[in-house]
């Protein structure tokens, strides 16, 4: 079954959701975003589904972040874009069933954020994690309100302000990843965890997720939605995005 650019498969009691635009590194295109919304809603509503796995098509990328090919430098466009994207990135948190991110490659920007919004992250040993938005003159809209709790304030600042990727093992050391596994075993290990979760009493599983996530998705997300669009008006942001499109180094003022 396919929803726009996302494949959906029910395997026993697990919904396997695959972001499927590998030629674009599974970036958060409109097709990926709309497909993910539909796929997670279907999984949440299906009584047969007890766990959800999100992964990326191909061997190179889980999700390489936002598709910036159509960026416009206006607050109206930026506000609409941020509102839509942050709601998509928060979907794994707001889904009632446990979500496992099986990170098969690059998890940059929005891909990184989908991973940390999931309940569990299992990473291929070749996975890379990062929030490189600073290279465009931007900041990660979702991670900026989640990273400090996960890795501490200093490391959250470092990852956001420097923008360099880290390995799967470094991400595990920081507590961002539950397990690092051999690349060809990634989905097997993810399904093993999904089956363990499926074997437990489901009301308790859902209640545990609800309680642990009870303070998420409130005023901090609203604040990010209100503040982030103003970065789109900065000259350095326009230079960063233009340089990325032209495949050259940006010259920030």
Task: Answer yes or no: 192 catalytic.
Answer: no
**Buried-exposed string 44-76: b where 16+ CB fall within 10 A, e elsewhere:** beeeebbbbbbbbbbeebbbbbbbbeebeeeee
Task: Indicate the pLDDT class of residue 229, thresholds 50, 70 and 90.
Answer: confident
Tokens of 6: 């996302």
Any bridge partners for residue 120, and if so which? 100
Predicted pLDDT at 67:
76
Residue 158 within a domain: yes
* Residue 217 pLDDT exceeds 70: no
Has residue 131 been placed in a domain? yes
Any domain includes 218: no
Catalytic residue among 21, 72, 93, 133: 133
In a domain, 106, yes or no: yes
Write the pLDDT tens digit of every residue in 7-60: 999 999 999 999 999 999 999 999 999 999 999 999 999 999 999 999 999 999
H or E element at residue 199: none
Residue 72 has pLDDT above 80, yes or no: no
Tell which residue, 134, 94, 133, has the closest CA to residue 114.
94
**Residue 26 is assigned to a structural domain of this protein:** yes
Provide, rounded to the nearest whole percent, the portion of the chain with pLDDT above 70. 98
Residue 213 falls inside a structural domain:
no
The mean pLDDT of 133-145, rounded to a whole number, is 89
* Residue indicated by tokens 């948190």: 93
Does any domain span residue 201? no
Phi/psi of residue 172, nearest 5 degrees? -65, -45
CA distance 67 to 244: 11
Q: What is the tally of structural domains in the chain?
A: 1
Domain harbouring 175, CATH code: 3.90.226.10
Catalytic residue among 9, 21, 45, 113: 113
Domain that holds residue 61: 2-184
Cα separation, 9 vs 141, in Å, equals 30
Q: What is the mean pLDDT of residues 97-108?
A: 98
Clarify whether 133 is annotated catalytic: yes
Encoded tokens for 84? 């839509």
Cβ proximity of 36 and 17 under 8 Å: yes
37 part of a folded domain: yes
Half-sphere exposure of 7 (CA within 13 A, CB side): 13
Can you tell me the distance from the alpha carbon of 139 to that of 131, in angstroms, rounded to the nearest whole number? 8
Per-residue tokens: 73: 């430098």
Average pLDDT over the chain, rounded to whole? 92
Compute the average pLDDT of residues 74-99: 88
Query: Which tens digits make up the pLDDT trace of 155-170?
Result: 999 999 999 999 999 9
């Amino acid at each position: 079954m396919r929803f726009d650019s996302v494949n959906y498969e029910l395997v026993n009691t697990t919904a396997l959701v695959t972001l499927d635009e590998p030629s674009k590194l599974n970036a958060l295109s409109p097709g990926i975003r709309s497909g993910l919304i539909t796929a997670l809603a279907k999984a949440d509503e299906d009584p047969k589904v007890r766990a959800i796995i999100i992964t990326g098509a191909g061997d190179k990328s889980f999700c390489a972040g936002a598709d910036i090919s159509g960026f416009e430098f206006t607050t109206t466009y930026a506000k609409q874009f941020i509102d839509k994207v942050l709601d998509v990135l928060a979907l794994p948190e707001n889904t009632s069933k446990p979500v496992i991110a099986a990170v098969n490659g690059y998890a940059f920007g929005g891909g990184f954020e989908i991973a940390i919004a999931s309940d569990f992250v299992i990473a291929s040993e070749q996975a890379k994690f990062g929030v490189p938005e600073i290279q465009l003159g931007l900041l990660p809209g979702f991670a900026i309100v989640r990273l400090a709790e996960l890795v501490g304030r200093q490391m959250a600042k470092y990852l956001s302000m420097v923008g360099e990727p880290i390995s799967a093992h470094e991400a595990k050391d920081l507590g961002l990843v539950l397990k690092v596994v051999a690349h060809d075993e990634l989905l097997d290990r993810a399904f093993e965890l999904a089956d363990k979760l499926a074997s437990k009493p489901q009301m308790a599983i859902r209640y545990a997720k609800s309680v642990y996530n009870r303070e998420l998705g409130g005023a901090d997300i609203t604040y990010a939605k209100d503040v982030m669009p103003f970065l789109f008006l900065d000259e350095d942001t326009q230079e960063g995005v233009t340089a990325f499109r032209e495949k050259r180094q940006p010259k920030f003022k």
